[in-house]
Amino acid sequence: QVQLVESGGGLVQAGGSLRLSCAASGRTSGTYAMGWFRQVPGKAREFVAAISWSDGSTLHAGSVKGRFTVSRDNSKNTVYLQMSSLKPEDTAVYYCAVSLFYSSDYSRTTNYNYWGQGTQVTVSS
């Protein structure tokens, strides 16, 4: 079992920045990757970014590339999402997730084993 706890969400004006954190605990030794997704009511969960736990390689969705950056601190079992130049359309509940197996595509929700409870990000115009 792996437990994930997100933090750092909140209300911010358009153009502002936020940093989300996701701390993992439990059986984390088998982590292959961690990812960030977001979801608004009535829509499917959307991929935001992912990072390989071994070599730190990253993947970002086109809609956030250049504005969001995913990073990790292996010693703290924590993944971060630095969000800048926020837009109202970034408003969503943000979830982190952990994958305990290799995949060629960490943008798919089905390639993750455990999920956090989510943290709300609201960007006002």
Give dist(CA 9, CA 68) in Å, integer. 14
Query: If you average pLDDT over every residue of the chain, what do you get?
Result: 96
- pLDDT tens across 69-86, in order? 999 999 999 999 999 999
- pLDDT tens across 96-115, in order? 999 999 999 999 999 999 99
In this predicted structure, the answer to whether residue 89 has a pLDDT above a threshold of 90 is yes
What is the model's pLDDT at position 78?
96
Give the CA angle between residues 25, 28, 32 to the nearest 5°.
135
